Amino acid sequence: MSRAGAGIDPARRVAFDVLRAVSVREAYANLVLPAAIRDAGLSGRDAAFATELTYGTLRGQGSYDAVLAACVNRRLDHLDPGLLEALRLGAHQLLAMRVPAHAAVSQTVALVRAQLGHRTTGLANAVLRRVGADDLPTWLARVAPPADADPTGHRAVATSHPRWVVDALGAALEQEGAVLELDALLGAHNVAPAVTLAARPGAYDPSDLGAETGGAPGRWSPYAVVLPAGDPGAVAAVRSGRVGVQDEGSQLVAMALAAAPVLPAGATGRGERWLDLCAGPGGKAALLGGLAAGAGARLVANDSSLHRTELVRQAVGWLGDVVEVRTGDGRTIGATEPAAYDRVLVDAPCTGLGALRRRPESRWRRSPADVESLVALQYALVASALDATRPGGVVAYSTCSPHVEETHGVVERVLIERADVEVLDVRAALDGVGGLAETLPDRPTMQLWPHRHGTDAMFVALLRRT
């Protein structure tokens, strides 16, 4: 360690480096952090501390920025970006963790000195001492807009979400007559989710996995095991590819497509061809491939990115020739392979507003301008998937976003512009999932929610080509 970096807690340095990677390189913390922890040789409590520092700072960034803006005599975007990241890191320790104030301030100032030099240490010290003078509820009462005059603005600051995200999530809940659940949903985004594993069908028994890891069965998926704690990368079955890290909502999407009735009715899956149109990074493809193998079907896993295709190849390697992995533009498959498949999954690129628990940086990275281009892409992919599906076959359209335009809007456009499509009831396809139907409104599509189901906010619609 250099002299300038001497005395800095390694966990804090790891968190700072990951925050900078997220900000500068638009990296995802869930991809960068595990490697940074390993490279620093952290384990146990130190690894857990680095993880909480990183994710907690990202989740609370909106609230912390409002507090910092009240403690700095200039606009935050006029600060050195590295200094701002360090101040956010310090604010999280002072306002949301049981870190002694003197340690939070001194360690953050030492980090600033090592990264930026002596010239900004005085400012960092003064700002953090102001931040630590009050607790978070007191600060939020001071800096958040009044709830009665500006409810969206109040929620945005108090729960650390951009205003447009608060509005979009409120509109999505309103579709179900559940707008009163908005505060519960926003709060759920700021709670670290448990790590959920998927014991891939035909590769690993879920009860064996639970016994080996101390994990509990999932609430919905029969393949799910919820870890009590620890690094999933330390599980041998995960390293072998027979088990994957996968949210239960994602598992239900693959299960719904595999169970959906195709016409003419027959032995489900026997001799069928399935397609995962946007398969990267491979979690749904691996589960779908296992289900295909068990049903006597074969799966083509396609993605437009060479890098993501390689991830898919790694995820489905255990399935051998049951799965064919390809790289190609999903928007053209309907033209090049018309009516070639019995079941097609379109897990479309989206804003990711349904996974803000796991990828909190997405709330700061996306903007309303992204929605229009994503919706156009989503529709093009669904249209291609329907063209690639034989009459009587089924397309599952899925997004990890509850945004109305990305979900119901896309489905409604499909139904308006195509006369050869009907919507199937997802609840009927998942009727073996005990208790799920009772949590869903009376409509054929399915929208899951973190606060209600404990999953990412996955949306899925089953579309049969008539």
Give the list of residues 6+ apart from residue 330 with CB closer than 8 angstroms, or none: 277, 278, 302, 303, 304, 346, 381, 384, 385
Residues 65, 59: Cα–Cα separation, whole Å: 11
CB-CB neighbours of 439 under 10 Å: 12
Give the list of residues 6+ apart from residue 90 with CB closer than 8 angstroms, or none: 104, 105, 107, 108, 124, 128, 131
The helix/strand/coil state of 259 is helix
* Alpha helices by DSSP H, 25-144: 29-39, 44-59, 61-71, 81-96, 101-116, 121-131, 136-143
Active-site annotation, residues: 400
Tell me the two tokens of residue 363. 């709330």
Give the list of residues 6+ apart from residue 192 with CB closer than 8 angstroms, or none: 52, 55, 357
Residues 69, 53: Cα–Cα separation, whole Å: 21
Residues 406, 400: Cα–Cα separation, whole Å: 9
User: What are the φ/ψ torsions at residue 400 (nearest 5 degrees)?
Assistant: -95, 55
